[in-house]
Structure 1
Amino acid sequence: MLSRPSPITVVAAQMTQPADISERASFAGAIRGIPGVDGFEVPVANTVWNEDVEWISPQLALGGEHVLSLIGAFMDRRADGVGLASSNHDKRLEAINLVRTAHQYAEYIHQAGSGRIRDLIVYSAPTAEDPKIAGAWMRESMNRILSWDWHGINVVIEHCDSIRHDGSFEKGFLPIEEELDILDALSAPNTGIVVNWARSAIEGRSTQTPIEHVVLARERGWLRGITLSGVVPTTSDFGQPWADAHAPFSDAEGAAGEPSSLLNLSAAADFIRAAGNGVDFREVKVAVRRADADAAARIETNRHALSAITMASNHTDADRPS
């Protein structure tokens, strides 16, 4: 088996960035300055990207390794049924063209400076009423996408919560088992799956589901990334119960945290250790909703979540024989 490079650590800084666009570049610089941060997760082809592309592109080109995501692009078009797993040819083609936009943007970043895109995250959208049919279309779309020259970039599927029979789902994309079967069928070296702590917890209504998903993906040989993002099981500043709203950690202090979040340092460290060191990236994706959150609190929200990676690494090192 080919050896994989060491995992990078990226931050979805757009989740905590200031509302004032003129302050965002300096905020991103502060996030980049946190020890252990290798780069950013950047949404492409959505509303946030349209606002940020002029200032974020130079940040990416400066250096580091980064991850691009199409979740915002797909969710912006959710009502229209656009997605790589759509049974409608035109909607599927529209989704593929969004991936093409990300491909072109990655090439632009590579040509503009020393920054590199390590992974592009795609999704098995739209909501899948019949996972087998949707899975077949997703496999066809991925086969086409992976035929392009990606210049070393991995195109990975982030698992989101699948349909629940009671209708209480957020995304309703493909089950993780179906996504893993697609990867088996593709058998391509530059793809894999990403497990998001919150999105798996939302699916299972349990803090154990993220561990189950990450272990399953690792055992199947397709785990490529993990995302630290929290969820609140009750109504809160982050919306309705089990909303996919990127809640921060419950043990972060003041405006940097959310006391009702199910994610804390201990749970995050367990998740990271379960994933192991064979992933391409570890991502922090937490948001701030409190009106009194100043720049310091926004930075601390990310710093606190990042400390879980250090905690997990130290635990692993302590367990090794001397």
Structure 2
Amino acid sequence: MNYFVGSYATSPAWEQWDAEAEHAYFSQLKALKNVQGLEHPFTGSLHPHDDDWFIANVSPDWQFVFTCVPGTMGALGKNPRFGIASDDEAGRQDALAFMQKACGAIGKLNKGLGRKAVKAIEIQTAPDRSKAEGSAKSLQASLETMLSWDWHGADIVIEHCDALVPEHEHAKGFLSLDDEIAVLNEVNASKNANLGLLINWGRSAIESMSTEGVLAHIKHVKAHGLLKGLMFSGVTDQESPYGIWKDTHMPASKNSTVEFGAEHSLLTEEEIHRSLAACGDALTENSIVGIKLGIRPKDAPLEPRVGYNQSALAMIDRFFEEVA
């Protein structure tokens, strides 16, 4: 099986554009035989800095999954009422306009590469409900509008982010998993659609403050026939450069079989395998499976930027080798 890499999280040129550094980084990612393609950040245009450079420098064989979380978080920093689940109509319309730009960017990438290159777009159910009202009703209205657009062959997938819970501090505070499931079931039935959910390991762990909560989310979504994929980002409950229970995409924990890993990460190889096993037959060759890992220190050289990704992918590979 081949996987998606959220390369922007370990990119040497994400915060400050450096075409030469990014080219060197992409070159090494292209050499990884088990990489299907990139989870690509959408912030308002195809590439945050240079659309033409991006089209010219990605692998001609890569597939892509767009993620709207970087752009969504940027918009929320300016307007807390922004979001496809927002009960503020202006904020919801702003989010739909943002999604329409993403739709256009998918078309531009497909045209630039001369093929259907984008497998899916991951959308998130903002706003942060500690700062603005959001609801299943508003999410449903947004999804019904989005289904009327031509997505150039890309599937629409909700990436569940940690919901607002009363027990502890949140990272995103978006809609609950139950609300997202209810809306997807309703929209799929009424619009004859095939929308689904993707679980982000780290965000489900943050919501439940446990690794068991991740398994519960996976099984719950699978039971409704809505599981479209699983992306691995780590998290920790201990002091670390990545923070405690923070959505900083902590790498997987190091073990004796890999060169790179993060101390105290709850995302161990055992937890990766438990999560994949919980997915069971819901995982197919058409599923989105991959990693999105951050880097500390932020000025780290190229070797660990690629190495963290390569080591985590090896952990996933071993699961599929064992069950083959």
TM-score w.r.t. the length of structure 1 is 0.89
Instruction: Return the offset for 1:252.
Output: 5.7
Could you tell me which residue of structure 2 aligns to residue 142 of structure 1? 143
Gaps of 5+ in 1: 1-6, 318-322
* Equivalent residue in structure 1 for 2:8, among 11, 14, 23: 14
Provide the residue aligned with 2:254 in structure 1: 251
Greater mean alpha carbon deviation, residues 25-34 or residues 241-250: 25-34
User: Which residue does 1:261 correspond to in 2?
Assistant: 265
**Aligned residue in 2 for 1:152:** 153
Q: Which of 130-139 and 213-222 deviates more? A: 130-139
Q: What is the distance in 1 between the residues matched to 2:51 and 2:247?
A: 24
Residue aligning to 2:33 = 35
The CA distance in 1 between the partners of 2:187 and 2:245, in whole Å, is 33
How far did residue 56 of structure 1 move?
2.3
Give the direction of change, closer, same or farther, for the CA distance of 1:203–1:155 in structure 2 (3 Å limit): same
Q: CA deviation at 1:143?
A: 0.9
Partner of 1:272: 276
Q: What is the deviation of 1:64? A: 2.1
From 222, 232, 238, the equivalent of 1:234 is: 238
State the shift of 1:21 in Å: 3.7
Evaluate the alpha carbon distance shift between residue 64 and residue 285 of structure 1 in structure 2; reply closer, same or farther with a 3 A threshold.
same
* Residue 87 of structure 2 is aligned to residue 84 of structure 1: no
**Aligned residues of 1:61 and 1:115 also touching (Cα < 8 A):** no
Aligned amino acid, residue 91 of structure 1? G
CA distance in 2: counterparts of 1:294 and 1:13, whole angstroms: 15
In structure 2, the residue corresponding to 1:293 is in which secondary structure?
coil
Aligned-residue offset at 1:295: 1.2
Could you say what secondary structure the match of 2:48 adopts?
A: helix
Offset at residue 255 of structure 1 (A): 8.9
CA distance in 1, matches of 2:298, 2:149: 44
1:117-139 CA-partner distances (Å, limit 9, x unpaired):
00000010001359996111011
* Aligned equivalent of 2:93: 93
Which residue is 2:206 aligned to?
202
Task: Give the C-alpha shift of residue 35 in structure 1.
Answer: 1.4
Change in Cα spacing, 1:8 to 1:257, as seen in structure 2 (3 Å) is closer
d(CA) in 2 for partners of 1:315 and 1:132? 46
For 2:248, give the aligned amino acid: A
Structure 2 CA distance for aligned equivalents of residues 59 and 208 of structure 1: 40
Deviation at 1:307, TM superposition (A): 1.2
| Structure 2 spans left out of the alignment, 5+ residues | none
Let me know the Cα RMSD of the aligned residues.
2.4
Is this contact kept in 2: 1:45–1:70, CA < 8 A?
A: yes
Name which of structure 1's ranges 253-262 and 76-85 shifts more when overlaid on structure 2.
253-262
Instruction: Answer yes or no: is the 8 Å Cα contact 1:255–1:297 preserved in 2.
Output: no
Give the TM-score of the pair, scaled to structure 2: 0.89
Q: Provide the secondary structure at the position in 1 that maps to 2:135.
A: helix
Shift of residue 57, structure 1, vs aligned partner? 2.6
Secondary structure in 2 aligned to 1:238?
coil
Q: Which amino acid aligns with 1:87?
A: D
Q: How many corresponding residue pairs?
A: 310
- The answer (yes or no) to whether the contact 1:229–1:248 under 8 Å persists in 2 is yes
| CA deviations over 1:189-232 (Å, ceiling 9, x no partner) | 34210001100000000011111111111110001111011001
- Post-superposition CA distance 1:35-78 (Å, at most 9, x none): 11111011112599423544323344723211001001110011
Distance change in 2, residues 1:74/1:255 (3 Å): farther
Q: Residue by residue, what CA displacement relative to the aligned partner does 1:249-297 show, whole Å, maximum 9, x if unpaired?
A: 1116899421111001121122122223235210210111126732111
> Which secondary structure state, in structure 2, belongs to the residue aligned with residue 152 of structure 1?
coil
Partner Cα distance (2:130, 2:90) in 1 = 18
CA 1:147–1:252: 2 relative to 1, 3 Å: farther
- Contact persistence 2:12–2:299 (CA under 8 A): no
Distance 1:102-1:47 versus aligned 2 partners, 3 A rule: closer
| Alignment-mate amino acid for residue 284 of structure 1 | I
1:59-138 mapped onto 2 (5 Å cutoff): 59-60=57-58, 62-79=60-77, 80=79, 81-113=81-113, 114=115, 116-128=117-129, 134-138=135-139
Which residue number in structure 2 is paired with residue 3 of structure 1?
none
**What percentage of residue pairs aligned between the two structures are identical?**
26
